[in-house]
Amino acid sequence: MAKVSPGVYKKVLRVREAYPFDIACLLMRFFGSMLNIGVVTMITLSGYSFLTAGLSSSLIALSIFVVTPRVSKRIDERGQSAVVPKAAAVSLLGLVVLIANVALHGPVWPLFVGALLVGFFPSPQAMARARWTYLIRSGRLGEAAPDLRTMFSYESVLDDMAFIFSPSISIALAAAIAPVAGMVCGGVAFAVGVVLLCTAKSTEPHPGWSQAGAAGNDADIVDVADAADAVADVAGDGAAASKGALAEGAAAVASAASVPSKSLLATSAAVRVLFVIYAFAGSFLGLFDTATVSLSEDLNSPDFAGAVLMASG
């Protein structure tokens, strides 16, 4: 078994230009990773049924499934700072509708409207990886540039950190303070992340930069993107965000690297198999989260759900 150097990420951490957008995307990741379980917890602790909570969570997942790839395409075409604020504003509007309706204990239908709007959530995983790829492949970092594979590994660690801790934080806040507290905290983190990301324009990839100067000879990255393109489509569910984070990032890199635009879902049997596998995996994770919250409420111990989800992550 090969030895793993503990300093493998040192070169990544020395790239100070990446700090602003990586911190921004980490804050946005926390919001994305708590969406599924956070909404279920908020709604059920406020007295609504698990059916209502499950439908709201499912609508968020469905909306992200449909909308996020199109938001990502617009980002590739027009740039992050031009598209992200608008998409984030719609997503935050949906969150405000959800929180306000729960706080006032209003009717059920506004929850569904808010859930659909939340689906305009732009993918922080894809945007962070796109910026890293721009910095590395454009030659801006020179000899200080880390290996592209190491960067992807490092970003996956950040994905898993958000996936493990943010649902537990959301549940703890909802149980200890108020049902809406967890999602309010997530929304604030998301808004701060969007502001930080959009102000860090020096590292933003310009539309068409790959055609202008970067060669597309990194076949290994294209291979990852090919396999991951369909996985990214499934990974819109907050419960499967960690597992699909590399997929969305690789899809963004593929777009930046002039990968053919024809859908791989239509042309690749392997991608179709991956699509089905991750659809079932995402369904299981979503059911697991909801069942965990339900069991913790039956036991009159909301903190139980946070502990279980952190351990399982």
> In a 10 Å sphere around its CB, with 0-12 CB exposed, 13-18 middle and 19+ buried, how is residue 296 labelled?
buried
Note down pLDDT in tens along the chain; length 313 residues: 445 565 677 888 888 999 999 999 999 999 998 888 889 889 988 988 888 988 898 899 889 888 988 998 899 889 999 999 999 999 999 999 999 999 999 999 999 999 999 999 999 999 999 999 999 988 888 888 888 888 998 999 999 888 888 888 888 898 889 999 999 999 999 999 999 999 998 899 988 776 444 444 443 443 444 344 334 444 444 444 444 444 444 444 444 444 445 666 677 777 778 777 766 666 666 566 656 656 665 656 655 555 555 555 5
- State residue 24's pLDDT score: 96
> Running DSSP on this structure, what letter comes out for residue 46?
T
What pLDDT score does 213 carry?
47
* Closest by CA position to 260, among listed 214, 222, 232: 222
| pLDDT for the residue numbered 216 | 43
Give which of 87, 96, 81, 131 is closest to 253, Cα–Cα. 131
On whether the CB atoms of residues 127 and 80 are closer than 8 A, the answer is: yes
What pLDDT, on the 0 to 100 scale, is given for residue 5? 60
Reported as a single tens digit per residue, the pLDDT across 207-257 is 877 644 444 444 344 344 434 433 444 444 444 444 444 444 444 444 444
Q: Is 5 helix (H, G, I), strand (E, B) or coil?
A: coil
**What is the identity of the amino acid at 216?**
G
pLDDT at 222: 37
The answer to whether 244 and 231 have CB atoms below 8 angstroms apart is yes
Which residue type does 290 have? T
Element (H, E) at 194: helix 181-199
Q: Is 304 helix (H, G, I), strand (E, B) or coil?
A: helix
Say which DSSP state 18 is in: G
Contact 295, 305 (CB under 8 A): yes
180 and 99 Cβ atoms separated by less than 8 Å: yes
Print burial letters for 89-100: b (CB count within 10 Å at least 16), e (below 16).
Answer: ebbbebbebbbe
DSSP secondary structure string for all residues of 218-253: -HHHHHHHHHHHHHHHHTTSGGGHHHHHHHHHHHHH
d(CA 135, CA 18): 9
Task: Flag whether the pTM goes above 0.75.
Answer: no
What is the residue extent of each domain of the chain? 26-202+226-312
Q: DSSP secondary structure string, 89-107?
A: HHHHHHHHHHHHHHHHT--
* Contact indicator for 57, 36 with CB cutoff of 8 Å: yes
- Of 10, 37, 27, 5, nearest to 238 by C-alpha is 37
CB 308 within 8 A of CB 173: no
Residue 127, pLDDT score:
94
Write the pLDDT tens digit of every residue in 265-295. 677 777 778 777 766 666 666 566 656 656 6
| pLDDT (0 to 100) of residue 219 | 39
Is there a contact between 171 and 43 (Cβ–Cβ < 8 Å)? no
